[in-house]
Structure 1
């Protein structure tokens, strides 16, 4: 494999950054997880906008245009002869003296990593091997006043702690796929790496991004598609009980796309007609934009 590091394509074994890099030392970095379908990046403009907002939050002026970043992604895909791929784009503040306060002048570290994924669209196959088993965890979502949820940074310890809870709770007969993380008030925020959707009374519901919820790119596409299909949509505040008693539910993220939820805290939920319809129109959306004539 070849990765893109600071403007150069290098073999994976040589794709390294300094131990003094602030992304390593402090998590002082922004990133985006993207997906390539047919050699082009899904919803690049939305990802680029979110990356820009994260960098603005961090006061991280990396000096590269969106086109320059996209070119580095395409170069990495081409170097690895990949058209269907997972892509991670990371930008750190780079190497600075070992002090917490960042200096205004930076030499950013910019890395692009890729790996192969299945084809998407109407003839594609999911990357997951079955519906998700979801478990509520004790770890709470960091409040926006501490670390803004809209900023996608290298500070992912919150999600790691949640996934560690799942590991500790696992047994020979039970293993959850995703952690359900609540906010400080006990309301649903999101999964460790996903947004949460569910259906009650034929309406699609998802936690609002006014709370500590990452504004997922796939989340936004699903909301748009649902409205186009005439499905009532509500973004609000919900407890885990809402999810447990839902008629159907699913998770979204860039690589999973739409993944039905099988159980929540051992209570069967499952997919359903709304999940099936949205999965169908999402696949058609990908097909039209990435594989069509």
Structure 2
């Protein structure tokens, strides 16, 4: 279901949405009819809209749209978008990764695609590098494609935010989108007694276990997960997962 400015919409979208990427958006998951970290997602959406000079309709507009979207099912993938004078709210059934992705880990592919030097921290509709990175990863049989910055650091995934676990410490890779789920992972890691740091890493520096955080996956390990990380990984598994 799609709501444009609060009303059902089936027609074409504004040109700025389709051709120029003049928009910011956020995606989140609803489990059992409850949107996860809704306040944080709406706050980031508002900040990003203001940073790019896009008129934000107010959180109340999206909260009102939620009243129409949440009855569509208990587990949904939600997306809120702010553009030039319009906002868009969408919901579709949530399709999780297969259970073996959580048990055995996933594969990633390092791609040559780079994030925008000025816009990398913002979740904008200017999304082509991320789509190309995911396409390359999919063609290679990998779950996720990693993107670089102008200096060759691994800074983002096409649909997830990366972390690195090495020598007992969890590192939040800098230079890409400020991921909401990744922030929650870092908070939980601290609560579990893990040291958490921030840093820039080139591909050759990614020694350890790479983790992928995102609203669509929760938290996944690249390759088999270390035993000491199982409590952290389990804390972010979708509710349907039974092991």
Give TM-score scaled by structure 1 length.
0.74
Alignment match of 1:176 (pick from 130, 142, 145): 142
Q: 1:27 to 1:230 in 2, by over 3 A?
A: same
Alpha-carbon shift at residue 190 of structure 1 (Å): 1.4
- Matched residue, 1:71: 64
Alignment match of 1:24 (pick from 18, 40, 45): 18
How many residues are treated as equivalent by the alignment?
A: 235
Alignment match of 1:205 (pick from 165, 171, 180): 171
2:90 maps to 1:113: yes
Q: Secondary structure of the residue that 1:132 maps to in structure 2? A: coil
- Matched residue, 2:217: 256
Listed as ranges, the gaps of 5+ residues in structure 2 are none
Alpha-carbon shift at residue 237 of structure 1 (Å): 1.4
Q: Which runs of structure 2 are paired with 1:125-274 in the superposition (5 Å)? A: 126-129=96-99, 130=101, 131-144=105-118, 148-167=119-138, 170=140, 175-208=141-174, 211=175, 213-243=176-206, 245-246=207-208, 248-262=209-223, 270-274=224-228
Distance 2:60 2:229 in 1: 35
Alignment check: 8 A CA contact 1:29 1:91 kept: yes
Please identify the structure whose Cα radius of gyration is greater: 1
Alpha-carbon shift at residue 84 of structure 1 (Å): 1.1
- Matched residue, 1:96: none
Per-residue deviation, residues 203-242 of structure 1 (Å, max 9, x unmatched): 111212xx2x101000000000011111011111112123
- Matched residue, 1:86: 77
Listed as ranges, the gaps of 5+ residues in structure 1 are 94-107, 119-125, 263-269, 288-293
Give TM-score scaled by structure 2 length.
0.88
Q: Secondary structure of the residue that 2:235 maps to in structure 1? A: helix
Distance 2:66 2:121 in 1: 23
Alignment check: 8 A CA contact 2:165 2:211 kept: no
Q: Secondary structure of the residue that 1:199 maps to in structure 2? A: strand
Distance 2:19 2:225 in 1: 42
* Range that drifts further, 270-279 or 249-258: 270-279
Alpha-carbon shift at residue 167 of structure 1 (Å): 4.9
Return structure 1 stretches of 4+ with deviation > 6 angstroms.
none
Distance 1:87 1:276 in 2: 27
Distance 1:33 1:71 in 2: 17
Q: Report the RMSD for the aligned CA atoms in angstroms.
A: 2.0
2:235 maps to 1:281: yes
